[in-house]
């Protein structure tokens, strides 16, 4: 068994345990393997172990990996763009990815909709919420969610699937849970108004238990699967 395969099994077990503790089924929680900075060979190991959904933060790097596996005829993979998105890179995301988690303004959502090729299903999008209200992070405040959701839901070539957040790092479980709960409340409210909404993308290696307890349906896990990241050879912004 490869190390990545072992790590994946461990993470899956943690997800199951966390779900069980709060009376949820582990099938309600999708594991997104965050593979940024990792080589295609690492993803191939995860694929061999049964992993299908991958999250990438850098457009160019993500597209290279998507093409790598497409050229080798590997089917059934699901690609999620989870990094900050600049307008000039939106076309590559619209043309190659299945999901974009980081929609935080109408302009980007409109571009993604306009640029989504006709032969592909609508791009699945999540609205990113700046839940910890940090100046440096992207995402909108919850107070702006209703207005943006109403606009995004009107776009023809994107489908509003839910919300995403990257809470500020916080070691204390109770405080992780409190923040995650705020997201879950907003998510449930959105879900009651839009039938297409079914995804709350919340929880990383260090806070996934609290996120699952609060109601996350998709955890984004990098380090616990692929090990620590090395950014030194990483030049793309
Ligand atoms: C890198 C990253 C992750 C994964 O973080 P880990 O702590 O390595 O699990 C999840 N979500 C986003 C948006 C990221 O950029």
Answer whether residue 234 is part of any domain.
no
Answer whether residue 39 is part of any domain.
yes
The answer to whether residue 236 scores a pLDDT higher than 70 is: no
Whose C-alpha lies nearest to ligand 1, atom 10?
220
For residues 79-97, average pLDDT: 97
220 Cβ below 6 A of ligand 1: yes
Answer whether residue 118 is part of any domain.
yes
Answer whether residue 237 is part of any domain.
no
The total domain count for the chain is 1
Please name which of 44, 31, 56 lies closest in space to residue 5, comparing C-alpha atoms.
Answer: 44
Instruction: Give the CATH number for residue 196.
Output: 3.20.20.10
Domain with 98, as residue range(s), is 3-226
Tell me, in angstroms, the distance from the centre of ligand 1 to residue 209's CA: 15
DSSP β-bridge partners for residue 123: 158
What integer pLDDT is reported at residue 133 of this predicted model?
A: 75
Answer whether residue 110 is part of any domain.
yes
Q: What is the pLDDT of residues 170-194, one digit of tens each?
A: 999 999 999 999 999 999 999 999 9
Answer whether residue 135 is part of any domain.
yes
Answer whether residue 106 is part of any domain.
yes
38 Cβ below 6 A of ligand 1: no
Whose C-alpha lies nearest to ligand 1, atom 5?
222
Answer whether residue 138 is part of any domain.
yes
221 Cβ below 6 A of ligand 1: yes
């Amino acid at each position: 068994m490869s190390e990545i395969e072992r790590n994946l099994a461990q993470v899956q077990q943690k997800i199951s345990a966390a779900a069980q503790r709060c009376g949820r089924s582990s099938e309600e929680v999708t594991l997104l393997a965050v593979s940024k900075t990792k080589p295609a060979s690492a993803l191939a190991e995860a694929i061999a172990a049964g992993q299908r959904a991958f999250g990438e933060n850098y457009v160019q790097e993500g597209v290279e990996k998507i093409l790598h596996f497409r050229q080798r005829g590997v089917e059934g993979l699901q690609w999620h763009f989870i990094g900050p998105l600049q307008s000039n890179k939106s076309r590559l995301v619209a043309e190659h990815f299945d999901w974009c988690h980081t929609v935080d303004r109408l302009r980007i959502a409109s571009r993604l909709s306009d640029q989504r090729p006709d032969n592909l299903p609508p791009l699945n999008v999540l609205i990113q919420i700046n839940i910890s209200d940090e100046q440096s992070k992207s995402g909108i405040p919850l107070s702006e969610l209703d207005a943006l959701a109403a606009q995004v839901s009107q776009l023809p070539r994107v489908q509003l699937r839910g919300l995403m957040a990257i809470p500020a790092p916080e070691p204390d479980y109770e405080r992780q849970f409190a923040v995650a709960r705020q997201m879950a409340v907003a998510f449930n409210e959105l879900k009651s108004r839009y039938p297409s909404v079914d995804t709350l993308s919340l929880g990383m290696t260090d806070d996934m238990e609290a996120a699952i307890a609060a109601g996350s349906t998709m955890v984004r896990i990098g380090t616990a699967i692929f090990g620590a990241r090395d950014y030194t050879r990483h030049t793309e912004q």
